[in-house]
Amino acid sequence: MAYALRCPDCRKAFKWEPSQPDPRHCPLCQADMGEPPDDNVICLPAFISASTKANDKVYRDIEASSVVRMEKAAEAAGVDVSDMAAMKITDLRPTTHEGAIAAVPVTNAVTQQMDMLAAKGGNVGWQGSNGAEFAAGISTGAVTVNGVTTQNVEPRAGARTIERIQGMYGRR
């Protein structure tokens, strides 16, 4: 099987034997590729792709590898494994059907507010069908959002500030 590394500078890939240490300089452009990680770095790659046939096994492997990382980190720090328990991934959900998401959904004040606005048919974040109400009163300084009108909003304040700064220091 052929392996390749990609230079972070020129972004071109080049063949590399994985049994050899990573090169310090790119063989194509001679750019410095940085220091190799020291021996204290615990690094296990995760290969997740939409085209992966066995996503559930990949997720279960992620959970299993998190236990290994937790044990290695405890060993490196010289502490009990229970002190590193936060590193263990335990809440991935099965993705056995089309469109399933393994990550646990976030429920907090922000998501609750967005759900409430969506249920009322209102604007959710910066998306939605009523974005025109943001622009309706901008030129006069009166802006209405979700039925609440705010007066004395200075129109084009940001654009004028940029013009003043560029006037003082010149454009680059």
17-34 mean pLDDT: 85
> What is the reported pTM?
0.33
The CA distances from residue 24 to 3, 8, 27, 34, in Å, are 17, 12, 9, 6
What average pLDDT does the chain have?
75
Domain ranges in the chain?
1-36, 39-109, 128-172
> Are the CB atoms for 54 and 94 separated by under 8 Å?
no
- What are the phi and psi torsion angles at 54 (to 5°)? -115, 60
145-157 mean pLDDT: 70
Whole-number pLDDT of residue 135: 59
Nearest to 69 by CA among 90, 91, 43, 48: 43
> Are the CB atoms for 18 and 1 separated by under 8 Å?
no
3-state secondary structure of 86: helix
Tens of pLDDT, residue by residue over 59-85, are 778 888 889 989 999 999 999 999 988
**Residue 116 or 41, more confident:** 116
